[in-house]
């Protein structure tokens, strides 16, 4: 992947692309953190994706069952130097009856942090000589309802 066989994470820029719940309101603010460590080719590292949720609002869990609202989902668009490497995990959600769907739903209020695995993908955009991906960022998306 790289000549040195490693990518330094402190040079990594995390960029959030959010799919908002409403075009006129954005009651959820997203951020991401990662440990400052060296990432080796094909080795997984963890990114924590956090949501700060405005009072009176909630998001549905990543494990929300089918037949109701869409679950929160973290994705990574293609053709990037990093890709998802696993399934997101999060804290146990609160159970709440949702009259809009007429079922019990799994929700988070106030704040939540999900952890998801990432790894170098092997994709190089052409700007990195010898497939050196250092200095690239992670573009991630969170879909939520």
pTM of the predicted structure, to 2 decimals: 0.73
Domain annotation covers residue 15? yes
- The 10s digit of each residue's pLDDT in 43-59 is 888 889 999 999 999 99
**pLDDT (tens digit per residue) in 24-50:** 488 999 998 876 666 676 688 888 999
In a domain, 88, yes or no: yes
User: For 12-136, where are the E strands, in sequence order?
Assistant: 13-19, 28-33, 38-39, 45-53, 59-60, 73-75, 82-84, 94-98, 103-108, 111-120
pLDDT band of residue 136 (cuts 50, 70, 90) is low
**CATH code where residue 74 lies:** 2.60.40
SS3 131: helix
Question: Is 1 inside a domain boundary?
Answer: no
**Residue 106: closest CA among 115, 114, 97:** 97
Contacts of 126 (CB under 8 A, 6+ apart): none
In the structure, what pLDDT confidence band is assigned to residue 135 with cuts at 50, 70 and 90? Answer: low
- Residue 2 within any structural domain of the chain: no
Is 114 part of any domain? yes
Q: Print the domain residue range for 42.
A: 7-143
Any domain includes 47? yes
Residue 92 pLDDT greater than 70, yes or no: yes
Total number of domains constituting the chain:
1
């Amino acid at each position: 992947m790289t000549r040195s066989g490693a990518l330094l994470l402190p040079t990594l820029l995390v960029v959030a692309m959010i799919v908002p719940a409403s075009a006129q309101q954005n009651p959820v603010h997203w951020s991401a953190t990662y440990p400052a460590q060296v990432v080796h080719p094909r080795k997984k590292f963890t990114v924590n994706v956090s949501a700060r949720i405005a009072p009176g609002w909630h998001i549905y869990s990543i494990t929300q069952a089918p037949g109701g609202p869409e679950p929160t989902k973290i994705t990574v668009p293609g053709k990037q130097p990093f890709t998802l490497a696993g399934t997101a995990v999060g804290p146990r959600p609160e159970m709440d009856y949702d009259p809009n769907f007429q079922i019990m739903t799994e929700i988070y209020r106030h704040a939540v942090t999900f952890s998801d695995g990432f790894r170098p993908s092997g994709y190089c955009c052409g700007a990195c000589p010898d497939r050196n991906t250092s200095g690239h960022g992670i573009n991630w998306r969170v879909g939520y309802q």
